[in-house]
Each structure stands twice: as structure tokens, then as C-alpha cells.
């Protein structure tokens, strides 16, 4: 699997090199493949991105603890919480849409067949 295009941005925000970010991505992809059992599903990709963000945050925290010129990066908030919340909100929207469609279809079927509507 190719590395996501967001990889350099997360690497920059966490204060790690692009090469280290690529190595962390490969590690996260391997771990996600072991967990999900395949490497082409949406669950695999979600696990891989989530694991990569966690690894990048941990590695960025290690780099910030050293006497490194990028030590001020600890003042920049991590992006993992934002990615998790965005994913959660996306799933809630899809779930609400799915339930609304099922409700509409069940009422349409009952209307066509002449049965009582579902409320």
C-alpha cells in the first residue's frame, strides 16, 4: 500500500523526519494487516492511519524531550485527537443517513403493499 499524502504534514507537525514517518507508516501498515487479516479494506486503512498517528505522536514526544532545536514543538498540539474526532463525526453522519434511508424504504414498502406505516 502506498503511503498516504498526509504523511509529510503529520511528520512536520510531530517534528520527525519524512524518512522516519515513512518507516512508522510501514510499521503501522504491517501491524494493521496482522489485525485485520487483509490489506485492502477500509478497516485496514482506518487502523493503519490511526496507528501511524499514534506512533508519530509518540516519536515526536521523544524527539521533543531531547535537547533538540525542535523542542518547542511540544507546545504545538498533537493532531491525533482531531483525526479521531473527524472520523467519529463522519461515522455518525453516515449512520444517521443509513437509518433515515432504511426508515424511508420500509415506509415506502408498506405504503405500496397497503400495510400500516411504521412510525
Q: Does residue 119 sit within a domain?
A: no
Q: Does residue 92 sit within a domain?
A: yes
User: Which residues lie closer than 8 Å to 108 by C-beta, 6 or more apart?
Assistant: none
The full DSSP string for 23-43 is: HHHHHHHHHHHHHHS-SSSHH
Q: Does residue 60 sit within a domain?
A: yes
**pTM, entire model:** 0.55
Per-residue pLDDT of the chain (119 residues; tens, 9 = 90+): 678 888 888 888 888 889 999 999 999 998 888 888 887 888 888 888 888 988 998 888 776 555 555 555 555 566 777 778 888 888 888 888 889 999 999 888 888 887 665 66
For 10, other C-beta atoms within 10 Å of its C-beta total 23
Q: Does residue 73 sit within a domain?
A: yes
Per the structure, the complete domain to which residue 15 belongs is given by 7-113
Q: Which helix (H) or strand (E) holds 89?
A: helix 80-113
Based on the structure, what is the number of domains in the chain?
1
User: Which residues lie closer than 8 Å to 38 by C-beta, 6 or more apart?
Assistant: 44
Q: Per the structure block, which three cell numbers stand in for 62? A: 521523544
Q: Does residue 16 sit within a domain?
A: yes
Q: Does residue 2 sit within a domain?
A: no
Q: Does residue 20 sit within a domain?
A: yes
Amino acid at each position: 500500500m502506498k503511503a498516504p499524502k498526509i504523511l509529510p504534514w503529520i511528520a512536520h507537525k510531530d517534528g520527525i523526519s519524512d524518512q522516519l514517518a515513512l518507516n512508522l507508516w510501514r510499521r503501522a501498515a504491517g501491524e494493521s494487516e496482522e489485525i485485520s487479516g487483509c490489506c485492502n479494506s477500509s478497516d485496514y486503512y482506518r487502523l493503519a492511519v490511526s496507528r501511524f498517528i499514534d506512533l508519530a505522536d509518540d516519536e515526536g514526544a521523544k524527539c521533543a524531550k531531547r535537547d533538540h532545536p525542535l523542542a518547542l514543538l511540544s507546545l504545538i498540539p498533537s493532531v491525533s485527537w482531531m483525526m479521531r474526532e473527524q472520523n467519529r463525526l463522519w461515522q455518525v453522519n453516515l449512520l444517521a443517513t443509513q437509518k433515515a434511508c432504511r426508515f424511508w424504504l420500509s415506509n415506502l414498502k408498506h405504503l405500496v403493499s397497503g400495510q400500516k406505516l411504521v412510525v
